[in-house]
Amino acid sequence: MTAPKHPARPRRVGRLLRILLPALIILSWLVAASFGGPLFGKVDEVSSNDRTAYLPSSSDSARVQELQTRFAGSDEIPAIVVAASDGKLTEAQRTALSEAVAATKEIPGVDDDVSPALASDDGKAVQAFVPIRSDADLGEVVTDIRAHLDDAAPSGVTVYVTGPAGFSADLVAGFAGIDGILLGVALAAVLVILVLVYRSLLLPVVVLATSMFALCTALLVVWWLAKWGVLLLSGQTQGILFILVIGAATDYALLFVSRFREALRVEEDRGRAVLSAWKGAFEPILASGGTVIAGLLCLLLSDLRSNSALGPVAAIGIVFAMLAALTLLPALLMAFGRAAFWPRRPRFDPDAVAAEGGMPTTGVWARLAGLIRRRSRVIWIATTLVLAAGTLGVLQLDASGVPQSDLVLGSSPARDGQKVLGEHFPGGSGSPVQVVVAKGSLQRAADALLADEGIDGVTVVAEDSPSGTAPVTDDGVQPVGRPGTPAPEPTVVDGDVMLQGTLTAAADSSAAEETVRRLRSALEGSDAVVGGVTATSLDTDDASLHDRALIIPVILVVIMLILMMLLRAIVAPVLLIVTTVLSFGTAMGVSALVFNGILRFPGADPAVPLYGFVFLVALGIDYNIFLMTRVREESRRHGTREGVRRGLAITGGVITSAGLVLATTFAALAVIPILFLAQLAFIVAFGVLLDTFVVRSLLVPALVHDVGRAVWWPSKLSRGER
């Protein structure tokens, strides 16, 4: 007697799994996103835009910043109040301003140690120093101070709040739209592109939902890591994370959807179509994401924590972008099936696919593939010459650093205040050079400062002095107060004292930086350490230049090794790297011409070329990976030259759509009025479009077609052309 068979049971189990598994995946992502979504408005709780927080701990500026708290007994951030009139201030106006400044100590977040209002030599302005507690909301406190002083200012007098606190507040205001405006612009632009690409209403929503769930989950992880002190987060890093995840997740989703559409034409069952798409998309998505992650993690070699912190933060974002594209998106497509493409549903028509030979025979990309087959050498040589000409603009790129006052585009009250301050007081008032030196070397260090033409005066921190400092001249520390008052004793911390030199030039000017360099040279060989606002900017720029020279070659080597493993060849990866670097050079050259000749930017941060390189090379190589993995797949069946033609015809549409999406998302960074982000937005957006429409569409296919099977050397594909 034979055992009864139950053929229906496995089918029921299979159907149950096909329902439960996608549902569990979607539910898991929904739960994670529900925890991450509310954190969009709370990123400022775990982020910092303080430049000294990102300096290497071994730098002079970081060491002085650490000691300053011990000398001052607190770590307040100084705000400089400057009030000016067209004519000389009257006694009544000076009195009103003094009372208004003194009243700022009543504002929450302001320390009690507010300085008196001091008149300028020309009598047209007064200045005062208002210390803000480091644990206060800097942007909110500065806004309150400005509002209070504007209300209390006498008629005919304009009041400004500038200095470190003022500029930091302007930066905070510049990043204020990063949660709402930036995301809104990016998502709206991507939605329009997706609707035009798919001509569907549901599929763009599915793709964007995949991207947003990836971003919410990535933010959940990054927020808590920043909360626990594992990662450093800034407004700049936050903006890049948002854009990178949206762009990358959408790109990976486009690739998967393209494979799914292909599979639906030869598979009637949606489950089989999803599985086929997953198998076809897994390797290029994994290779693409892995390449970007490897490039980003190279930033860990940076001396600047602003760079080294971006690496893991952005890498976490890419991890979740890949996971969403390979888990959430397949689950959603499993749920919707062909309905996701409504009203242009792909038809199950394997006979038509067989008649086409598995590739489109009409359209722009089929015609371009045919042109490359006929004129490959002419195309790649001409394209190379045009790109090489574009690189010449790099000679005009000024990426040596920009003043802090130019970091914010558009209006900046702190910048306006600094200009007025420089018209009536020494330009560096409120942001002195700070020199920590052994007590026994105080006079020698003071003499070096006094002898420099860039220093207007020297003081030493002295807690016994009413103002907290005492003047230092060639004759030593001078008394403060009535005649006969003894000179106060300098504050000593671990045997050291702190001198402060008032700069004649604005603290963020190139003249001030030259003064700091001269002082460091004059004090070389002693135990003196030079810090302050200017030194912080100088050390940051120097560290950026060091990072650029170190990290760029490392990224090239790492990506080269990844491509060799992926393509199982040496020649093809070398060609891809060379074309990508050429594209980067052209993007930087054109950007330099636009920045200098059209937008009239004051220069660029030294980190701009580094960030541009990381994103353009890591992301630009993505499209070559998408193309070349398909070319390799087709070459195994049809030979290299036919594989190039088929690979370009099949992937042309989806890669172009992905390039448009990524360029659009990075261009959205320009809505944030921060110079660094505006420049990065243009460089990456233009570079991605260049990669999409020139390098990947013309240069790489034509070059690979011309080289032929040798491009796969030393793999087996290089030894046989079918």
With CA atoms as reference, report the closest residue to 117 among 76, 148, 84, 141.
Answer: 84
Distance CA 303, CA 59 (A): 10
Say if CB 164 and CB 643 are below 8 A apart.
Answer: no
Q: What is the pLDDT of residue 9?
A: 54
Q: Which of 321, 339, 358 is the last residue of a domain?
A: 358
Please, what is the average pLDDT of the chain? 87
Helix ranges restricted to H, 344-469: 350-356, 364-390, 413-424, 442-450
- What is the arithmetic mean of pLDDT over 204-221? 94
In this structure, are 515 and 480 located in the same domain? yes
Cβ-contact 496, 67 below 8 angstroms: yes
Residue 585 included in any domain: no
User: Which among 314, 38, 333 is positioned nearest to 209, based on CA atoms?
Assistant: 333
Residue 84, helix vs strand vs coil: strand
CA 87, 89, 92, 93 torsion: positive or negative? positive
Q: What is the pLDDT of residue 443?
A: 93
187/262 same-domain check: yes
End-to-end CA distance of the chain: 56
Whole-number Å distance between alpha carbons of 701 and 299: 31
Residue pLDDT, tens place only, 10-48: 555 556 667 788 889 999 999 999 999 888 878 777 776
Mean pLDDT confidence for 589-617? 90
The contacts found for 470-473 with CB under 8 angstroms, 24 or more apart, are 472/442, 472/443, 472/446, 472/499
> Are residues 158 and 222 both part of a single domain?
no
Q: What is the pLDDT of residue 540?
A: 86
Looking at 154, 172, 190, which one is the last position of a domain? Answer: 172
Name which residue leads in pLDDT, 362 or 328: 328
**Strand residue runs (E) in 25-76:** none
pLDDT the model gives residue 181 = 79
In a domain, 569, yes or no: no
405 DSSP 8-state letter: G
Cα R_g (the chain), whole angstroms? 31
Sign of CA dihedral 350, 353, 358, 359: negative
Q: Tell me, yes or no, whether 134 and 183 share the same domain.
A: no
pLDDT tens digit sequence for 423-461: 898 878 778 999 999 999 999 999 999 999 999 999 999
Pair (164, 183) in one structural domain = no
Pick from 150, 172, 194: which residue ends a domain?
172
Query: What is 226-265 written as a DSSP string?
Result: HHTTSS---HHHHHHHHHHHHHHHHHHHHHHHHHHHHHHH
Domain annotation covers residue 92: yes
Do 225 and 297 have their domain in common?
Answer: yes
Strands 158-162 and 433-438, sheet pairing = unpaired
Strand 158-162 to 77-84 pairing: antiparallel
CATH number at residue 22: 1.20.1640.10
Residue whose C-alpha is closest to residue 292's, from 248, 229, 238, 349: 248
CA distances from 44 to 39, 221, 453 (A): 10, 15, 41
Mean pLDDT of 179-204: 84
Query: Residues 141, 26: one domain?
Result: no
| pLDDT the model gives residue 53 | 62
User: How many residues in total does the chain contain?
Assistant: 722
Answer whether residue 720 shows pLDDT above 80: no
What's the per-residue H, E or C state across 532-566?
A: EHHHHHHHHHHHHHHHHHHHHHHHHHHHHHHHHHH
Residue 434: its H or E element: strand 433-438
Identify whether 591 is part of a domain: no
Q: Does residue 195 share a domain with residue 160? A: no
pLDDT tier at 136, thresholds 50, 70, 90: confident
Instruction: Reply yes or no on whether the pLDDT at 49 is more than 70.
Output: no
pLDDT of residue 321: 95
CA distances in angstroms from 643 to 261, 359, 367, 705, listed in the order given: 21, 11, 15, 9
Q: 168-182, 352-366, 383-397, 475-489: which has the minimum mean pLDDT?
A: 352-366
Q: Are residues 194 and 248 in the same domain?
A: yes
C-alpha span between 154 and 87 (Å, rounded): 13
Average pLDDT over residues 346-364: 71
Neighbours of 35 (CB within 10 A): 14
Pick from 502, 499, 518: nearest CA to 510: 518
Within a domain: 62: no
User: Looking at this protein, which amino acid is placed at residue 200?
Assistant: S
Token pair 């709206």 is found at 188
- Number of Cβ within a 10 Å radius of residue 276: 18
> Which DSSP string do the residues of 474-487 spell out, in sequence order?
TTEEPP-SSTTPPP
> CA–CA separation, 356 vs 630, rounded Å?
17
* Cα(365)–Cα(114) distance, integer angstroms: 69
**In sequence order, which residues have a C-beta less than 8 Å from that of residue 553 and are 6 or more positions away?**
none
Looking at the structure, tell me whether residues 162 and 193 fall in a common domain. Answer: no
Question: How far is residue 580 from each of residues 290, 324, 359, 613, 713, measured CA to CA in Å?
Answer: 17, 27, 27, 10, 20
Residue 59 lies in a domain: no
Kindly report the number of other CB atoms within 10 A of residue 87's CB atom. 9
Summarised one tens digit per residue, pLDDT across range 146-166 is 999 999 999 989 999 998 888
Give the pair of three-digit tokens for residue 86: 């067209």
Q: What are phi and psi of 128, to 5 degrees?
A: -150, 160
Q: What is the CATH number of the domain that holds 130?
A: 3.30.70.1320
Instruction: For residue 604, give every residue at least 6 positions away whose Cβ sits within 8 Å of its Cβ, in sequence order, or none.
Output: 397, 398, 399, 402, 595, 675, 679
Residue 568 reports pLDDT greater than 80: yes
Those residues with Cβ within 8 angstroms of residue 287's Cβ, 6 or more apart along the chain or in another chain: 562, 566, 625, 629
Q: Name the pTM for this structure.
A: 0.85
* Judgement on whether residues 212 and 150 belong to the same structural domain of the protein: no
For residue 8, pLDDT over 70 is answered with no
At 177, is the pLDDT very low, low, confident or very high (cuts 50, 70, 90)? low
CATH number for the domain harbouring residue 436: 3.30.70
pLDDT given for residue 615 in this prediction: 87
CB 128 within 8 A of CB 102: no
pLDDT per position as a tens digit, 533-560: 889 888 888 888 888 889 999 999 999 9
Residue among 5, 133, 25, 27 nearest 73 (CA): 133
Residue among 565, 569, 561, 562 at smallest CA distance from 714: 569
Query: How many angstroms separate the CA atoms of 442 and 464, rounded?
Result: 17
Please count the structural domains in the chain: 3
What's the CA gap between 19 and 334, in Å, rounded? 9
Q: Are residues 347 and 204 in the same domain?
A: yes
Residue with tokens 């835009």: 49
Question: Per-residue pLDDT averaged across 114-132, rounded?
Answer: 90
Q: Residue 1 has what pLDDT?
A: 45
* Sequence letter at residue 176: A
Which residues face 160 on adjacent strands?
82
Angstrom distance (rounded) from CA 578 to CA 258: 28
Q: What angle do CA 530, 533, 538 make, to 5 degrees?
A: 70
Return d(Cα 18, Cα 8) in angstroms, integer: 15
Evaluate whether residue 61 is within a structural domain: no
Q: Which structural domain range is residue 499 located in?
A: 419-538
Quick one: average pLDDT of 176-193? 80
> How far, in Å, CA of 159 to CA of 722, rounded?
79
Residue 477 domain-assigned (yes or no): yes
